[in-house]
Structure 1
Amino acid sequence: MTKINERIVSEAESRSQNLLAEELVELVEIYHPNREMGVSRETVAQYSEALANGAEESFNSGAFDETVDARTTDIETWVDSNTIYSLGNNRISVYPASWHGALSGSTNIREYVRFLRDDAEDFEVFGPRGTGYGVPESKLIDIVAVIGQADPDAVKAGIEELRDRGEIVEGPDQHPDARVRIAEDAEEIQDPTLNK
């Protein structure tokens, strides 16, 4: 039996009926103690059951588990943010097996940014958006926390340290999803509308 982390349950309950299947899987990947890639389906099902047994509003664990099954794919590369990826051995993740294979165990933030820029085909988050080019800081924190099995606060502190040393750059810090990119890419990857 899995020991339930109440932080995950509390966070999931705070999202109430807005909780998406991939969000619960990601919460479990980030905060449930784990030594392997991804999380076991059994562990996710136990969190689903805990939510159904403790939620003030009705949480349908059966429907949730069906949604997880329906969204799970064996494809090893990025599809989209609604997809849950099978990693084999009855383990799943919100990130594809190819990402885990390339980055597993690493917490090198620059390595993640380079990988997402160069090797994560179809990963739309790196491209231009209203906040510029790069990876949104919040998404980068989640990716490093999940794949690198790191504490999200430590990842955020690492990003701030790299920014302070000038090794990475971000869009305006007051923006909640300031985009992170490698410093040497800052001039090369620039929003073309800024030159007008």
Structure 2
Amino acid sequence: MDLVVLEPLKGRHCAECRQGPLTMHLLEFNAPVCLDCADLAHLVYLPRGSASLTRRAREASSLSAVVVRFNRRRRRYERQGLLVEETALARAESACLADAEARSRRRKRDAVRRAAEDIRFTAVLGAEILRLFPGCPPARAQDIAVHASVRGSGRVGRTTAGRSLEEGAVTAAVRASVRHLDTAYDTLLTAGVARHEARARVATVIDEVLAAWRTRP
């Protein structure tokens, strides 16, 4: 059974040594006893907040105590932290630090891997754009692929269809590029034209550009 140490809401004095007011105490026979008299003064306080650190410190400490405080609004005692041996806390902190360093290294490896995957996919997407639209300038196809495949952008290149290089998704990426760069679409939006109306006005121009790009130069 856990030893329980209280954080009193008001000043209490030790029933044995009369020391006080106490910041923490045990209850023995309903009387407050300070940590010195309870032979717990050698323990150090670990506030709640890190489940991993708390678990490791508790496992490494031959003696520990749960620290609680009464919540008047909820009318219950709530855990505030743990008293553990200082050496146990030091070992737990070292273990957690090692874990953090391992996670940091893993994140860096994952970032490198994702960057390499993105480069490969962008190249594949660019090649697929040129296959479907051989008249598209190669530099433009590359720009479209880069724009459409930015990780976390939510653009068509990041969708399931886009990652699978479905023709409809690839065409949608090319169409979006033409809409913004080769038509007056953005100017219409700036002038207050509704999006659907603006798209309708530039649809013919987009179709003409795509038709030209589908033919080899």
TM-score (norm 2): 0.20
Compare the two structures and name the one with the higher strand fraction: 2
Larger RCO (alpha carbons 8 Å, 6+ apart): 1
TM-score (norm 1): 0.21
